[in-house]
Amino acid sequence: MKTKYVVSRKITCVSEPTAIERVQVTNSGIAVEFARQFYHDDIELYESFFLIMMNKSHVITSYAKISQGGVTGTVVDPKIIAKYAVDDLCSAVILVHNHPSGSLKTSKPDVDITNKIVGALKFFDCQVLDHIILTKNSYYSFKDDNFIL
């Protein structure tokens, strides 16, 4: 019988730790300022989801684009997020996505995916510090609204 081999594909972060500014995240405003670099004119066109990874001192070590969707949503797979977090050996993450509509209202899928990711990363001792929803002119922070403790 011939042995079959599975070829795996390495997923790499968008940014290497040495290639980004070393920013310590102490509040949602700092995270938002950092995350705005991911979005340009497309912030009102389609929804994109990013992951910001940090060390134990909440200094940003890397970030990754998780998905890009359409005007009303994007698919986020908690397994992909866990993979990035484990590959980075990070201690904390911040989830970021935009709402092209300009609405800061959280949807049921926003809340559901946040809860799934929080649960998945607990297994790896990785804390979800915040989930930020961006619009062109404003933002909503799950942490600031005491949704994430």
- 8 in any annotated domain: no
Give the model's pLDDT for residue 21.
72
Antiparallel, parallel or unpaired: β 139-141 and 127-134: antiparallel
Name the token pair of 5: 């081999």
Give the model's pLDDT for residue 10.
36
Identify the H or E element spanning 78. helix 78-88
Name the token pair of 27: 């509040």
Domain hosting 122: range is: 17-141
Q: Give the global pTM.
A: 0.86
Count how many domains the chain has: 1
Q: Which residues of the chain have pLDDT under 70?
A: 1-20, 149
- 9 in any annotated domain: no
Per-residue pLDDT reduced to its tens digit, 48-67: 999 999 999 999 999 999 99
29, 140 contact by CB (below 8 A): no
